[in-house]
């Protein structure tokens, strides 16, 4: 009997009315289901209440989602955020230690947007808080338009770097991605390698070199219309394949 891999999907804490909720975007959960062919389960951002080892023992993969919030800059010794910046300290307190433990335990990981940035911060890297204000850099923020199709339309190319995971997946050397972010990698963490780079030199995709399994982060949003975009689909399929290998081992125990 074939088991679908159980894939944990991170959640943000959002106030709805008088109560806080743990929420994860529909597009991430659907992409896990239809592209990675896994069973998504939302991981609440409960910080110190999360029994990380027990949780990871039940999971075959971990997807770190995007979010309107940013990692609090004290985690990477950065300057204070601009007034009004959205933060989610409960998510930070959950995802950063969870990510380090997942890599150590050999759990496949895919990080998207904020999740990509969390991967860099978790292993000692730092972030630019406003890429669009840096000399010579593109404006990587989404179009100011109410239509999601316009916001998530291809925005710029990325160049795949030789010798890495993306090249092994036979992704095109250059392909177009959407762009929905204001922050980006400043200092790349030790042990991480750049997998793809934007025309302005910003790192757009990373892998964790010391991971025994798939551990990739992307700054763009491959979950968006994933089935109709071959490079996006290839990334999710590779993640799903790694999760299935872990599921097969876990279900033999």
Any idea which residues carry the catalytic annotation?
A: 113, 221, 223
- Looking at the DSSP bridge assignments, the partners of residue 94 are none
User: 115 with 65: CB under 8 angstroms?
Assistant: yes
In our burial notation (b when 16+ CB lie closer than 10 A, e otherwise), range 33-51 reads eebbbbbbeebbbebeebe
Of the candidates 132, 94, 90, 103, the one whose C-alpha atom is nearest the C-alpha of residue 207 is 103
What would the DSSP string read from start to end of 120-147? HHHTT--EES-GGGSTT----SPPS-S-
HSE-up (13 A, CA, CB side) for residue 233: 8
CB-count exposure of residue 211 (10 Å: 0-12, 13-18, 19+): buried
Q: What is the dihedral of CA 195, 199, 201, 202, to 10 degrees?
A: -70
């Amino acid at each position: 009997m074939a088991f679908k891999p159980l894939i944990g999907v991170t959640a943000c804490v959002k106030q709805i009315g008088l109560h806080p909720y743990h929420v994860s975007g529909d597009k991430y959960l659907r992409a896990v289901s239809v592209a990675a062919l896994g069973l998504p389960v939302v991981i609440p951002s409960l910080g110190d209440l999360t029994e990380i080892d027990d949780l990871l023992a039940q999971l075959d993969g971990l997807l770190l989602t995007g979010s309107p919030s940013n990692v609090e800059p004290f985690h990477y010794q950065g300057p204070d955020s601009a007034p009004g910046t959205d933060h989610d300290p409960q998510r930070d307190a959950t995802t950063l230690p969870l990510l380090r433990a997942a890599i150590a335990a050999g759990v496949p990981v895919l990080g998207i947007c904020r999740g990509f940035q969390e991967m860099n911060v978790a292993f000692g890297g730092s972030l630019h808080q406003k890429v669009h204000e840096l000399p010579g850099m593109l404006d990587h923020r989404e179009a100011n338009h109410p239509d999601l199709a316009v916001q998530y339309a291809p925005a710029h190319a990325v160049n795949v770097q030789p010798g890495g995971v993306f090249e092994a997946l036979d992704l095109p050397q250059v392909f177009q991605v959407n762009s929905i972010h204001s922050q980006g990698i400043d200092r790349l963490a030790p042990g991480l390698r750049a997998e793809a780079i934007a025309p302005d030199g910003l790192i757009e995709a990373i892998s964790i070199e010391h991971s025994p399994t798939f551990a990739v982060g992307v700054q763009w949003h491959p979950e968006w219309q994933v089935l109709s975009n071959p490079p996006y689909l290839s990334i999710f399929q590779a993640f799903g394949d790694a999760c299935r290998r872990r599921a097969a081992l876990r279900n033999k125990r």
